[in-house]
Amino acid sequence: MKSYAILKNKHSNESAFIVGAGASLLNLYRDQPLHRIFEHVVIAVNSAIWIMPWGMPHPNLDIKAEIDSDPEKRYWISNDALCRAWNYFEYVKRCNATKIVRNSWKKYYKEIPDFLEFCPRETPEEEIDPEEEGLAYCSSIPSGIDLALQMGCKKIFLLGVDQHFVPFNNMLISHFWEFNSKPLQPQCNPRSRANVSSQARVFPVNLKAYHALANFADYKNAIIYNCNSGSKVKEFIKISFQEALDMF
């Protein structure tokens, strides 16, 4: 597969929205004009594709027959090959976007010949060599931030990057779609779902990566904004989603 490196500097001086799947994304999706982010570069991470109208038919019954019109600015990125076990993955394969996965997906390359691949950075997550090729790899949000910086984006806005759980129906949940009824949730083999303890182990590792990425953003003369006041990620400037939209 081709390397993600062909995307370097593709979006110099543009703005990007990186959309994670944290619980906070639910209110944006339901109550805010989320479609306005499509004026800019958008990087959907893992199950955030569940609300991206980038092709039809869409497995999410709540997505109407609306197709976003600029695939040159649409990206989906993942570290996690378990995404293949979810019903949204068939949509990922055919949606109008550029798809990038970690080289740990090698044994599945015949299924996804049009995807791009990235190698993990050789340096530890808490250190980023600006001249090294590769992406931060501890989880997919850091990979997406690294990608946006290398594509030349100068303003990067994070949506749904929470780094914590919320109680709901006597459970702890961490994804926006877990608030929905079962027909409006992505479906998978239960054995392919990460449990609470495995997700919790990733959070402190992610925080080290965010610290390194904040330094990388300084090096690139870029600014990263976290559009969630309740996020446990404190490395980036916190603003509201409306404040992000007002910048444009």
Each domain of the chain, given as residue ranges in start order, spans: 2-246
Which of 50, 12, 31 lies closest to 176, judged by CA? 50
pTM of the model: 0.94
Average pLDDT over residues 119-124: 90
> Given pLDDT bands bounded at 50, 70 and 90, which one contains residue 191?
low
Dihedral pair phi/psi, residue 195, rounded to 5°: -90, 175
What pLDDT score was predicted for residue 56? 75
What rounded mean pLDDT belongs to the chain? 90
Over the range 185-202, which residues count as b (16 or more CB within 10 Å of their CB) and which as e?
bbebeeeeeeeeeebeee
Which ranges of the chain does DSSP label H, i.e. alpha helix?
25-31, 88-94, 140-150, 196-219, 241-246
Is residue 192's pLDDT more than 60? Answer: no
Q: How, if at all, do strands 98-102 and 74-78 pair?
A: parallel
Question: Which residue, chain included where needed, has tokens 């306005």?
Answer: 36
What pLDDT score was predicted for residue 26? 87
Q: Using the Cα atoms of residue 132, residue 102, residue 205 and residue 150 in order, give the sign of their dihedral.
A: positive
What pLDDT score was predicted for residue 147? 98
CA distances from 5 to 2, 110, 117, 213 (A): 8, 20, 9, 18
**Distance between CA 125 and CA 136 in Å, rounded?**
7
Question: Residues 43-101: pLDDT tens digits?
Answer: 999 999 999 988 877 888 777 645 666 789 999 999 999 999 999 999 999 999 999 99
What pLDDT score was predicted for residue 199? 76
Most confident option among 20-29, 127-136, 148-157, 173-182: 148-157
> Given pLDDT bands bounded at 50, 70 and 90, which one contains residue 202?
confident
For residue 138, what are the contacts with CB-CB under 8 A and spacing of at least 6?
79, 125, 202, 205, 206, 208, 209
CATH numeric code, 2-246? 3.90.1480
Cβ atoms of residues 177 and 47 within 8 Å: yes
